[in-house]
Structure formats: C-alpha cells, structure tokens
Structure 1
Amino acid sequence: MMPTDPSAKNEAIEIRDPASGATARVLPCLGFNCFSWRAPVGDTQPRELLWAEPGFESGDKRHSRSGIPLLFPFPGRIGGARFEFEGQTYELEPGDPHGNAIHGFAANRPWRVIDQQGDCVTAEFRHSQDAADAVGQWPSDYLLTASYQVAGGRLRFTLRAENVGDGPLPFGFGTHAYFRLPLAEVADPEATVVRAPVGEQWTLSEMLPTGETVSGKDSLLVEGAPLAGRGFDTVFTLSSQMAAGQPTGPLVTSLVDSGSGREVRQTFDESMTCCVVYTPDHREAICLEPYTCVPDPFALESRGVAAGLRVLAPGEVYETEITLEAVVA
C-alpha cells in the first residue's frame, strides 16, 4: 500500500503489530524520525519507550532533541563547519554555539515515503533531491533507504546508503535515540542501570575530539551501574569484546530497571566504532548513540588519527541494522 506521501503534509505515520499491540510513530517530514515506540514489556500493556518533546509531531520542534534522529553523512560535529577531502575544501552550515556543523543533512529535512504496510514503513532520502540547497557541501551524491518495523517487543531499523554520484563518498552514520526514563511507572529514573560496551573515552575540546583517548574513564558503563545523577555528553570507543567474556559479535547497550526487571536493549553491528552517551538536562531520557565514526573525522584522519571515516566508491553500498527490544530481564 502506498498512500499519499505524508512528508508533504507534516503528517506522522503509525505502524502497528496487531498481535502484541506494539506501535511506532514516524515523522517523514522531519528526518524520518521515529519519535514514539510503544511496546509490551513482559506481560504489561504497551508502554512508551522513547522520549519526544511535547508537540514534536507538528514538525516545527528541534530535530535532534527527540525520538531517533538519523545522522548522515556525518554524526556529531565537524569543526568550524568545514573539512577537506581529496584536496578540496567543503563549507557547511554552522549548527552549534561554537560554529561547528552538526549531525549531517538527513535529520532535519523531509524524507519521501516509498512503501507502507501495516507493521512497517520505508522512506528514501537523496542528497541532490532532498537537500538540494546543500549539493555543493558534500563530495558526492547519495541515496538513503531506511525502514522501521514493529513486531512484539522489537523495533527493527534498517539503513541502506548508496553512492549514486560520480566521485568517492566519505561518510559516517549514527543514531541518536532518546530512551525514556524510568522504565517502570513508580521507579526512580536515577536508579536505571546503564550498560554499554565502551572502551576508551575521547578527550574533547569545545565538543570536538582532540585525538587523544583515556583508558578506563568510565568502566562502570561496561559492567552496568545506576545512572545516579551522573551527567554525560561523552564520546567513547566501542569494544567488540563485551563484558563478562562474551565473544566478538553484535554490540548491545541496555537500560534496566532493577525493581521490575524491565530492560530495553539496543543491538547493532560492528560497523559502529563509537558510542556517544548523552543525558539531557531534563533527565527524562538518556541517549546511547552508536556511530560508525568519531565526530570531526576529517580533521582527525588528516592528522593520522583513525576515526572510522568510511568511503564508498560510485555504486558501492553500506548497509546496517539496529534493533531495539523490550524484555523482562
């Protein structure tokens, strides 16, 4: 079924799993952002597990502060809103108080819905078509195809990125999910146990990585510890060797309410090399953000610091999948 494109009307799309009652709501007009995910946790009725600013579905709220912003072709910041690639300098639009560009082109622009079923929705974003005002700001054209699907306690997201231009496409990708706290109705959000398979912490200066990392800065995240008032806006490396001796493979972050046993897991593949942990001032959510590259990757790699920057030749494709799952631990 392919209805009239909701992105032209600032309309949200709801997808639903009738068997479980799980739903997700997506806003194509603002970055194809999934701003609501209601799923059963154990034997409970579906519960909202994402956080979004009230009125977000109007399409006029800040795109990066609710739901699941999709960050492409760069997650995080690019210093001074400029970078060099293969001898050419590219100028971007500043987006933060320090004059840095932030979070790419796809999160704050409309996507085009190309397929909608009862439990899933798919949309596309092409730079030359959907970010025409920024064509000269990136080395090559690209086509993103993304899907959300709900099934029971799971929300499955897939992304396909293709270089449809004539030259090499440098890129990074990340998501910025706002997980709602607390997980249980009467729980203390600060008691939520946060776990992530992080390694070293990147040192930042004015929100940009300096190129240096510090070992063991927050080992509590690896084993899992209560949030307990701690504040984060922190960039970590990701380790494929997870806690408790688990073997190399998919990476998992989790949030657990110890009292009820409710848990929200986020599973992603090893193309993600970096994780940003962020706690908004309102403390009603926490962000666990897997990125394929470190913020400001062009500057880092120009200095010989491996930052995870990827490059697709014309016609090449990158694909990834991220699954959110609500369970009782």
Structure 2
Amino acid sequence: MDGSLIGGSPAVRLAAQDTPAKGPAFVEATVLPGRGMMLLQARLRLASGEVIDAIVAPDAEGAARALNGGPDDFAGNASFSFGGAILAPYANRIRGRAVAGAREIETKIAGHSVRLPANWGGKAPGAERYAMHGLILATPVPWRQPEPDRVTGRLEAGDFGGRWPGRAALDFEWRLQGGGLHLTVTATNAGETPLPIGFGWHPYFALPSGDRRQARLWLPARSHVLVDNYDEVLPTGQVEPVADGAYDFTALGGRALGEAYLDDCFIGLRRQNGEAVAELCDPAAGLGLRIASASPQVSAFQAYAPPDKAFVALEPQFNLADPYGGEWNGRDTGMAQVAPGATVTYAVSVTAFAPGNR
C-alpha cells in the first residue's frame, strides 16, 4: 500500500513472523480499519515458493477510488464488492417495507421497529430493494498494531446509529499465525436489554489458475436454502436436502464447479472436530484453502461463484438471509441473542494446503 487514507484511516499491513518453512502459507495481509476492519488483500506463498494474491481486490489506487466515496458506495456497498468485508450486526439480506422518499426499509428486528438502508436489490425491473450485509461496511474503527503480524480494533457501536435494537461494543483482531489467516470479532452487549446480533465475512478467494471449471468445492452440508431467483436471491423459507443433487458438495475431495452458478446458502453443516468447514481447491494451481470456524453460532455457509469469474466467495455466517422474515415460520435462523454484559464471538481461520499432499 502507498500510505494513502481509505475511509479516513491508513491501510495496515501485517507480516507473518512464524511462517512454516515448507508448504503453502499466508505471509502478508492488508486490513482497512477505515472500512469496518475489512480485509483488502492476503498474500500467499505457494509450495513452489511463488507468492500470489489470494483475494480478488484492486490495487491501492483502485481501492481508494472505490472506497472513498465512489459512485457505487451507498451505505458502504463497495466494501463487499472485493476483498473481505466483515458483516455485522447481521449477514446477508433483511427485507422490509419501503419508506417513501428515502432509500430505507422499515422492518422489525427481534420485535423492535427499525429503519435500515435499502442498499441492495435485484436488477430486473420492479425487483425488491432490501438491506444487505450489515451496518459497519463504511464505519471507521479505532485500531492499534501491537505486533507486526496482528492488528486489533474496538468499535463502540452502540445502536449502530439508531438503526438497531440494543447496544453493542465490537472487538476485532486479525492475525497471521502458523501459516494461517485468522479473524476474531467479539460482540459485548453494552446495554440493558438483550442484543440480537449476527456475523459474517465476505471473502473473494481467487482461483490462481484462472480455470474455474476444474476448481473443486467441498462443503459438508446436509441442505441448502431455496430462493425465489438468482436476481433478488430472497429465501422462500423452504429448505432442500442436497444429497445426490446439483448442490451436493459433500464427497471427499469435493466436486468440480464446472459451469454451475452459485449464490446459495448451505445449512445443516457437518462439523469437523467441532468446526464448521469448507474447502476450495484449485488443482491446476496446486492450491487448496480450508475455511473453518469454531464458533458454535456459525450455522451457514453462503457460496457465491459466477461461472464467468475466477473466484469463489465462501462466507461462514451466523444467520440465514432475512432472519426475522415471516417465511421462516418461527424457525431458528441463527441470530444470537446476547444477554446484558455477555459476549458472543465470531472466529474464522483460513489455512492453505497442497491438494496432492492431503
């Protein structure tokens, strides 16, 4: 990075201090505290010794243009168009009634009426507008870097500018350790009433070979959520088993993506050693990535993979889309309810491996 400010803060570069001598490993990362502590880039050393960008993102100049008041940045939207945005106090979509004369929706969160930015929606004529990916996408976070391989931040989020019930404080940590990239976000209920909260992370993992057809996804989930279409991508409230179907990525070693389009939420996760996991392999590049969360509240993985793009976004998240929507008929949709003074933690780790060595 060139030291320019993004969201009013400098980009923070992390450098690994204990990288394993052999094998793929994360060696650098760049975090943007001025944009909700999002990840801009992570650099990965392959088994061959070559160092590549593991995340799809523009260079410093391009990121600054997009994130410093760019034309497509209403409510921080540009943060989830590349890199890896942190999503809080909810992930995915929330529906509501359009507010006349405002780019807002009105809806109920845990029984409380709120107004959220209507920052996303389908592109087809007449498509619904809704709130997308939380309320910290463009929020500056006070930060410090206690070690070269670690950055922390604390956001006294309160009621997220009057848009959310309850009061929250969020503590962030990014670190490079043991060849892996690690994210931890802890929410503390700083109010006197229960705090509803959901977390997610939206990383665009690059396929270094550029050959998306042969890339393989392993996602041990029992079911996926049905949506109305791939334009609005709104849940119908119906859930379908994946076994032996087009959305079955449970086989050992995964399944080639081919020409499949994905913008789907996978649930009923089969945890491995207590972790919710997914793996993305690019055999042509000799690279595999394992995305894992030990947080018991992570109930879903959203997978976004257009067939004409050399990336896959794999998003471990607490909650399903539209978690308070009537289509769920009282189903547990994954939002945490944090008691006053209590905490909940979202933790994700990404590690790299050479597929042939597994």
Distance 1:218 1:146, change over 3 A: farther
- Per the TM alignment, residue 284 of structure 1 is displaced from its structure 2 partner at its CA by 2.5
Separation of aligned partners in 2, 1:30 and 1:86: 27
Which one of 212, 222, 225 corresponds to residue 255 of structure 2? Answer: 225
Report how far residue 302 of structure 1 moved. Answer: 7.2
Match of 1:72 in 2: 88
TM-score (norm 1): 0.87
CA contact 1:12–1:57 (8 Å) conserved in 2: no
Corresponding residue number in structure 1 for 2:99: none
Q: CA deviation at 1:303?
A: 2.6
> What is residue 227 of structure 2 aligned with on the other side?
204
User: Identity of counterpart residues, as a percentage?
Assistant: 25
The alignment's TM-score, normalised by the length of structure 2, stands at 0.80
Distance between the aligned counterparts of 2:64 and 2:216, measured in 1? 30
Deviation at 1:34, TM superposition (A): 0.9
Taking the aligned partners of 1:144 and 1:218, their CA distance within structure 2 comes to 38
- In structure 2, the CA distance between the partners of 1:296 and 1:8, relative to structure 1 (3 Å rule), is closer
User: Aligned AA for 1:100?
Assistant: Y
Q: Determine the C-alpha separation between the residues in 2 that align with 1:177 and 1:235.
A: 15
Displacement after TM superposition at 1:76 (Å):
0.5
Q: Deviations over 1:77-115 (max 9, x none)?
A: 110233324543111111113221111112222111134
Task: Look up the SS of the partner of 2:148 in the other structure.
Answer: coil
CA RMSD of aligned residues (A): 2.5
Q: CA deviation at 1:287?
A: 0.5
Q: Distance in 1 between matches of 2:149 and 2:162?
A: 37
SS in 2 for 1:177: strand
Q: What is the aligned length?
A: 314
2:137 is matched with 107
Q: Is the helix fraction higher in 1 or 2?
A: 1
| Residue 45 (structure 2) pairs with residue 40 (structure 1) | yes
Does the 8 Å CA contact 1:272/1:291 hold for their aligned counterparts? yes
SS at match of 2:117: coil
Contact 1:174 1:289 in 2 (8 A): yes
Q: Which runs of 5+ in 2 are unaligned?
A: 20-25, 71-77, 97-104, 122-127
3-state SS, counterpart of residue 161 of structure 2:
helix
The yes-or-no answer on 1:175 pairing with 2:201 is yes
* Residue number in structure 2 paired with 1:15: 14
Is the contact between residue 125 and residue 143 of structure 1 (CA under 8 Å) also seen in structure 2?
yes
**8 Å contact from structure 1 (residues 113, 121) kept in 2:** yes
Change (3 A) 1:263 1:173: same
- Seen in structure 2, the aligned counterparts of structure 1 residues 9 and 304 have a Cα distance that, compared at 3 Å, is closer
Range that drifts further, 161-170 or 9-18:
9-18
Structure 2 distance, partners of 1:226, 1:283, is: 15
Aligned 8 A contact 1:17 1:23 in 2? yes
Q: Who is 1:293 aligned against?
A: 319
Q: Provide, for residues 245-287 of structure 1, a one-character-per-residue CA deviation record: whole Å limited to 9, x for no partner.
A: xx55212211112245321111112321111110257503110
Change in CA separation of 1:237 and 1:122 when aligned onto 2, cut-off 3 Å: same
Stretch deviating more after TM superposition (193-202 or 7-16): 7-16
- Return the alpha-carbon distance in structure 2 between the equivalents of residues 104 and 284 of structure 1: 26
Q: 1:201, 1:235 within 8 Å by CA — same for their partners in 2?
A: yes
CA–CA separation in structure 2 for the residues paired with 1:234 and 1:78: 16
1:317 match:
343
* Aligned-pair CA distance for 1:28: 1.0
* From 20, 29, 47, the counterpart of 1:24: 29
The CA distance in 1 between the partners of 2:327 and 2:129, in whole Å, is 21
Deviations 1:51-100 (A, max 9, x none): 11341245336111111110111101110233324543111111113221
Change (3 A) 1:63 1:288: same
CA distance in 2, matches of 1:110, 1:267: 27
Task: Give the 3 Å change call, closer, same or farther, for CA 282–147 of structure 1 in structure 2.
Answer: farther
Alignment equivalent of 1:274, drawn from 283, 300, 322: 300
SS of equivalent to 2:41: strand
Distance, in Å, in 1 between the alignment partners of 2:328 and 2:237 is: 11
2:352 aligns with one of 323, 326, 329? 326
Q: Structure 1 stretch 38-47 or stretch 303-312: which is displaced more? A: 38-47
Separation of aligned partners in 2, 1:86 and 1:176: 24
In structure 2, the partner of 1:251 is: 276
Moved more, 288-297 or 15-24: 15-24
